[in-house]
């Protein structure tokens, strides 16, 4: 049944680390039903059994058995484009986990195909759905910080040595720039607008693997604002989204910050949501006041699923569309090119035609 009063029927493609969490939310949310898990692995089959959902080894087998109203694609990065194209060909709205694709050209082709077909595509940049970020966006857009001039972000944490026992994690492309910084960059774009130029340095000073451990990045926004962000998976520190927001209970939460956004009339710290401003006259001798802006926490993965239902049933505009995921990936691509060339690089989305 697809009537407005019935739960939205969703399938999860790829039931690994993150796919299992999506499947659980879809199975447990009152507004959704888990119609299928598609994952050829024995673990995928077990997960389907655990959640009492039909299991299929492939997308085609699932479709032959029945149509969901949408799919969540949480397969490895290299399968995002092919999986997304299958969903679009079947006319099924899809959330595709981040990064939208493992290469920019494939991502552009997928987005062009979905847009031409009129099939909604979402990129799984779930942090956008964190209620704290929704409030941060309201604060920035309300103008109470004045004109935004600078932004700073930290992604500093320690991935333990055992993390690197898996060979692909030691190779180029598997490091914190693609895996982690992409989340931060997506939020920076969401909060402060388009990024038009990037400069960057990277280092692998400690472990000596091909993959980067640390990077320092300069961003220029279309608005004229400037950003700095440093990322490292080799520093013991509390300053990262992961360790400060409490979003994922696997990380011990610290009462510290990970981003600061500064404007002519005030500054905002995230995730504390503290707005700093002068009471009357602006100036460095004037008293500085701090206001903590309240918000009601919720699990962004759940909010993302509810939003997906709103897109499917009510035609809501995606908060994190395929095109947004593509634009964020273009910034990551620019960071990598800036590291290689030592030059300032403008993020560029390649021209693409529908598949
Ligand atoms: N939003 C986030 O914070 C977040 C967090 C973790 C991972 N991710 C992303 O989610 C994706 C999956 O990551 P993961 O850590 O869960 O990986 P994973 O390796 O744990 O899981 C991938 C799953 O896909 C299955 N699979 C492989 N080929 C398939 C196919 N043809 N059809 C269906 N299923 C297939 C595998 O059997 C496996 O169960 C990646 O793109 C990753 O970047 C996002």
**CATH code where residue 249 lies:** 3.30.360.10
**Residues 14, 58 within the same domain:** yes
**Residues 153, 268 within the same domain:** yes
**Residues 274, 307 within the same domain:** no
Per-residue confidence (pLDDT) for residue 227, from 0 to 100: 98
**Residues 71, 180 within the same domain:** no
Instruction: Judge whether 336 lies within some domain.
Output: no
Instruction: Judge whether 232 lies within some domain.
Output: yes
Report whether residue 216 contacts ligand 1, using a CB cutoff of 6 Å: no
Quick: pLDDT tens for 27-79. 999 999 999 999 999 999 999 999 999 999 999 999 999 999 999 999 999 99
**Which structure tokens are listed for 59?**
């997308």
pLDDT of 4 over the 70 cut: no
Structural domain total, the chain? 2
Q: Which helix (H) or strand (E) holds 170?
A: none
pLDDT of 184 over the 50 cut: yes
Best CA proximity match to 4, nearest among 308, 304, 309 = 309
Instruction: Judge whether 328 lies within some domain.
Output: no
Instruction: Judge whether 355 lies within some domain.
Output: no
Per-residue confidence (pLDDT) for residue 135, from 0 to 100: 98
**Host domain of residue 265:** 131-292
Per-residue confidence (pLDDT) for residue 168, from 0 to 100: 87
Ligand 1 nearest-atom number relative to CA 59:
32
Confidence of residue 173 (pLDDT cuts 50, 70, 90): confident
> How far, in Å, CA of 341 to CA of 299, rounded?
40
Separation of CA 81 and ligand 1 centre (Å): 13
> How far, in Å, CA of 314 to CA of 306, rounded?
12
**Residues 115, 147 within the same domain:** no
Q: Are 18 and 183 in contact, with CB atoms under 8 Å apart?
A: no
Per-residue confidence (pLDDT) for residue 5, from 0 to 100: 80
**Positive or negative torsion for Cα 64, 65, 68, 70:** negative
> In CATH, what number is assigned to the domain containing residue 304?
3.40.50.720
Q: Are 272 and 297 in contact, with CB atoms under 8 Å apart?
A: no
Quick: pLDDT tens for 318-331. 999 999 999 999 99
> How far, in Å, CA of 256 to CA of 221, rounded?
26
**Residues 27, 141 within the same domain:** no
Q: Are 76 and 65 in contact, with CB atoms under 8 Å apart?
A: no
Instruction: Judge whether 165 lies within some domain.
Output: yes
**Residues 278, 307 within the same domain:** no
pLDDT of 2 over the 80 cut: no
Report whether residue 41 contacts ligand 1, using a CB cutoff of 6 Å: yes
pLDDT of 172 over the 90 cut: no
**Residues 111, 42 within the same domain:** yes
Report whether residue 75 contacts ligand 1, using a CB cutoff of 6 Å: yes
* Mean pLDDT score of the chain: 96
Separation of CA 32 and ligand 1 centre (Å): 21
Q: Are 170 and 210 in contact, with CB atoms under 8 Å apart?
A: yes
Separation of CA 16 and ligand 1 centre (Å): 5
**Residues 72, 120 within the same domain:** yes
Per-residue confidence (pLDDT) for residue 1, from 0 to 100: 36
Q: Whose CA is nearest to atom 32 of ligand 1?
A: 39
**Residues 123, 135 within the same domain:** no
**Which structure tokens are listed for 282?**
């602006």
**Residues 148, 237 within the same domain:** yes
Instruction: Judge whether 2 lies within some domain.
Output: no
Quick: pLDDT tens for 282-334. 999 999 999 999 999 999 999 999 999 999 999 999 999 999 999 999 999 99
Instruction: Judge whether 309 lies within some domain.
Output: yes
Instruction: Judge whether 207 lies within some domain.
Output: yes
Helix (H, G, I), strand (E, B) or coil at 276: strand
Quick: pLDDT tens for 124-140. 999 999 999 999 999 99
């Amino acid at each position: 049944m697809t009537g407005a009063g019935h739960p939205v029927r969703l399938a999860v493609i790829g039931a690994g680390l993150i796919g299992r969490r999506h499947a659980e939310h879809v199975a447990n949310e009152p507004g959704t039903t888990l119609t299928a898990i598609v994952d050829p692995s024995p673990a995928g089959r077990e997960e389907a059994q655990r959640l009492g959902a039909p299991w299929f080894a492939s997308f085609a087998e699932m479709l032959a058995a029945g149509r969901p109203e949408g799919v969540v694609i949480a397969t490895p990065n290299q399968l995002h484009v092919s999986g997304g194209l299958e969903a679009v060909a079947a006319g099924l709205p899809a959330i595709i986990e981040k990064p939208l694709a493992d290469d920019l050209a494939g991502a552009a082709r997928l987005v062009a195909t979905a847009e031409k077909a009129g099939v909604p595509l979402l990129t799984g940049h779930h942090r956008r759905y964190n209620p704290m970020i929704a409030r941060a966006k309201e604060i920035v857009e309300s103008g109470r910080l004045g004109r935004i001039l600078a932004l700073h972000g930290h992604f500093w944490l320690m991935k333990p040595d055992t993390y690197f026992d898996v060979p692909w994690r030691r190779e180029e492309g598997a490091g914190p720039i693609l895996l982690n910084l992409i989340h931060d960059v997506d939020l920076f774009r969401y909060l402060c607008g388009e990024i038009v130029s990037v400069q960057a340095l990277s280092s692998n000073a400690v472990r000596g693997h091909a993959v980067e451990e640390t990077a320092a990045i300069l961003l220029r926004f279309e608005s004229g604002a400037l950003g700095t962000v440093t990322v490292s998976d080799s520093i013991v520190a509390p300053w990262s989204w992961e360790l400060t927001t409490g979003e994922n209970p696997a990380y011990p939460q610290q009462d510290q910050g990970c981003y600061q956004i500064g404007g002519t009339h005030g500054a905002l710290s995230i995730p504390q949501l503290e707005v700093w401003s002068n009471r009357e006259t602006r100036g460095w001798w004037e008293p500085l006041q701090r206001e903590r802006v309240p918000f009601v926490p919720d699990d962004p993965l759940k909010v993302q699923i509810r939003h997906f239902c709103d897109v499917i049933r009510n035609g809501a505009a995606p908060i994190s569309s395929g095109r947004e995921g593509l634009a964020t990936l273009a910034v990551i691509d620019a960071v990598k090119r800036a590291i290689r060339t030592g030059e300032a690089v403008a993020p560029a989305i390649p021209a693409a035609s529908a598949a």
